[in-house]
């Protein structure tokens, strides 16, 4: 398996560069979640990071590297395209 050193921005991993496994296309996963165990033995807290391009090339605008940005509200639940819209309150 190949890995790529990826920068983490914000949250508990701010400024760290960690190796992240990449897929067959060479791109890291869209979300990176880190479970942190609770000291009291309860449910672990999950810190979520979203993948973003670190920069773009001048000519074609292609992404040059990747970084993970902290999302404090966490990962939004997946929705199927054919499901009913959520009711607005």
Read off the pLDDT of residues 8-51 as tens digits, 9 standing for 90 and up. Answer: 999 889 999 999 999 998 899 999 998 888 888 888 888 999 99
Residue 8 sits at φ, ψ, to 5 deg, of -110, 130
The whole-angstrom separation of Cα 54 and Cα 79 is: 27
Per-residue pLDDT, 30: 94
Number of other residues whose CB lies within 10 A of the CB of residue 63: 13
CB 53 within 8 A of CB 27: no
3-class SS letters over 14-63: CCCEEEEECCCCCCCCCEEEEEECCCCCCCCEEEEEEEEECCECCCCCCE
Per-residue pLDDT, 89: 65
Find, among 70, 63, 67, 69, the residue nearest to 6 by Cα.
67
Global confidence as pTM: 0.78
């Amino acid at each position: 398996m190949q890995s790529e050193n990826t920068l983490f921005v914000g949250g508990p991993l701010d400024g760290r560069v960690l190796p992240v496994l990449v897929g067959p296309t060479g791109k890291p996963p869209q979300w990176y979640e880190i479970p942190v165990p609770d000291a009291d033995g309860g449910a672990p807290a999950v810190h979520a990071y979203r993948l973003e391009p670190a920069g773009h090339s001048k000519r074609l605008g292609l992404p040059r590297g990747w970084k993970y940005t902290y999302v404090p509200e966490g990962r939004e639940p997946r929705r199927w395209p054919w499901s009913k819209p959520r009711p607005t309150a």
